[in-house]
Amino acid sequence: MSAYTKAEDWCVFIGGITYRVEKPLSWDVGVKNSGLVVTVPKGRIFDVSIPRGLRWLFDPHDPHYLKAAALHDEMLDRNWARTTSGAEFHEALKADGVALWRRLSMWLAVSLFKYR
């Protein structure tokens, strides 16, 4: 499993489902210390795109989802493949202790549906 580096107190709520990165957030792609790191830079705006009808089940403000959402948005904006971004999103949720059924549901959503 991969891991975040120095991920505490890293973002602030802006409004709605939108957040801003206050401290860079780094993720080791693949496995910890792989040498391939994606860093979400300070100032990056991201959202937690959970359809309104599912927000009773998946709270977009759950701190367990925020890092994965920021990472996923950053990877997509850097033109990483949707499948790769989705896989790292899943691993990031796992690193934050999200239950398997939630991870799989969220992974399917980001892999199959395009919200932008």
Whether residue 115 has pLDDT greater than 60: no
Say if residue 105 is exposed, middle or buried (CB neighbours under 10 Å; 0-12, 13-18, 19+).
middle
| Token pair listed for 55 | 């927000």
Helices (H), the chain: 63-77, 82-95, 100-112
Cβ count near 41 (within 10 Å): 11
Residue whose token pair is 């939630």: 102
How far is residue 65 from each of residues 33, 57, 89, measured CA to CA in Å? Answer: 22, 13, 9
**pLDDT digits 0-9 by tens, 49-105:** 887 888 888 999 999 999 999 999 999 999 999 889 999 999 999 999 999 999 999
What are the extents of the domains in the chain?
Answer: 4-112
Contact between 42 and 71 under an 8 Å Cβ cutoff? The reply is no
**pLDDT digits 0-9 by tens, 10-33:** 899 999 999 999 999 999 998 888
Answer whether 0.85 is exceeded by the pTM.
yes
What per-residue confidence (pLDDT) applies to 35? 87
